[in-house]
Amino acid sequence: MATLAEPRADTDEAFREEVRDFLAKNFPPELKGKGNALASVEGPTQEDAQQKAWREAMGEKGWGVPTWPKEYGGGGLSKKQARILQEEMGKAGAYNPIGGMGVMMFGPTLLESGSEEQKREHIPAIAKGEIRWCQGYSEPNAGSDLANLQTFAEDKGDHYLVNGQKTWTSGGQWADKCFAIVRTDKSDKHNGISFMLIDMDSPGVEVRPIQMISGLSPFCETFFTDVKVPKENLVGKEGQGWTIGKRLLQHERTNISGAGGGGRAMGAAMSEVAKKYAEFDANGEIADKVLRDKVADFEIRWQAFLLTARRAVEESKAAGGVSEISSVLKKLGTKLGQERSELAIEIMGLQGLGWEGEGFSESELAGVRAWLFGKAFTIYGGSTEIQNNIIAKRVLGMLDHQ
């Protein structure tokens, strides 16, 4: 992915001033501290006028995907400029309004593997946050063994006819399009898989939400019955879907871990949560020594992970993009994410036991549901057991019998 050369030091301040001026003119103060609804898979997107204006302003600059090529609607910024942008947005309490699976997974993959026509058709809409994508990967009998997928795309000349079922389709009920891996050849398990793009409003597509323990229904079953998919929606060549699909998973795992910037979006530090709910002694320390040790221990490990992840991601990008290291980050980051939720509930005490009703604030109820939703962190995007297998074989170079 092409980016501009690193700016000279004397231009850094000029760019920083440009960012500050843009934020002052375009970021509504009323949105300070709020999150990115487009990045969520937990509910429909209903923007108010201020949210819409902020998204459009960022989309017009391409700063929602700051390092993506400018010719496709990205910001064309260097990594250093992107960091400056992030720093200034943090100071202003501004969030990135462009997100979701199009940014996290599909966009980077299409920039690497898509045709020029596909990039020009799909990347600009992702860069402006105008479209919502979902992922068609897992099937009832193809989860951990993903290559066992059976959804079949039959070649009908000028189009494919797709039949089959996907499950755990995140945000499928709200998505405009689906990037999916399907079988185009039943004789070869891995080389018979292809990567294609399916319009979710096509005749024959049926989406059924699945209700989770958290009370939310962010995942769906998706059924395809004689769905026509134009030949130009094939990404790469027939039989390359397994390779392209695995590459996309590396982008997904890096982002799920928190290493892709998501870690900063997980909310307040545990020390800040403690200030609201825990008792403090005369020295300004958490009075409960056991809880104090837990908070300190977690914050040290979490910050160490974020710094290590940042280094690993930068090294991978310098070497050509994401790599199998994404499995290491996913394994560690998701485990820490679950620990974070458990610790937050413990700090909140009785206020961390609410499900609904009076006596609990909106953020307290959201915290409980986030804790339950987080149980899936170590499963989706490839379970921890799958990541262990990839780490053993691809990172450590171990053989099957070792």
Catalytic residue from among 42, 88, 238, 252: 252
Q: How confident is the model at residue 308 (pLDDT cuts 50, 70, 90)?
A: confident
Note the pLDDT tens digit of each residue in 249-266: 888 887 776 655 554 545
Res. 204: pLDDT tops 60:
yes
Lowest mean pLDDT among 17-31, 331-345, 387-401: 387-401
Res. 1: pLDDT tops 50:
no
> Regarding the domain delimited by 258-396, which CATH topology (the fold level of the hierarchy) does it fall under?
Butyryl-CoA Dehydrogenase, subunit A; domain 3 (1.20.140)
252 is catalytic: yes
Mean per-residue pLDDT of the chain: 88
Per-residue 3-state assignment (H helix, E strand, C coil) for the chain: CCCCCCCCHHHHHHHHHHHHHHHHHHCCHHHCCCCCHHHCCCCCCCCCHHHHHHHHHHHHHCCCCCCCCHHHCCCCCCHHHHHHHHHHHHHHCCCCCCCCHHHHHHHHHHHHHCCHHHHHHHHHHHHCCCCCEEEECCECCECCCHHHCCCEEEECCCEEEEEEEEECCCCCCCCCEEEEEEECCCCCCCCCEEEEEEECCCCCEEEEEECCCCCCCCEEEEEEEEEEEEHHHEECCCCCHHHHHHHHHHHHHHHHCCCCCHHHHCCCCHHHHHHHHCCECCCCCECCHHHHHHHHHHHHHHHHHHHHHHHHHHHHHHCCCCCCHHHHHHHHHHHHHHHHHHHHHHHHHHHHCCCCCCCCCHHHHHHHHHHHHHHHCCCCCCCHHHHHHHHHHHHCCCCCCC
% of residues, the chain, pLDDT over 90? 58
Across 254-258, 318-322, 354-358, the highest mean pLDDT is recorded for 354-358
Residues of the chain with CATH 1.20.140.10: 258-396
At residue 248, the pLDDT reads: 92
Res. 320: pLDDT tops 80:
no
Q: How confident is the model at residue 40 (pLDDT cuts 50, 70, 90)?
A: low
CATH architecture of 133-237: Beta Barrel (2.40)
At residue 281, the pLDDT reads: 92
Across 25-34, 132-141, 382-391, the highest mean pLDDT is recorded for 132-141
At residue 297, the pLDDT reads: 95
Residues of the chain with CATH 2.40.110.10: 133-237
% of residues, the chain, pLDDT over 70? 90
At residue 2, the pLDDT reads: 45
pTM score: 0.78
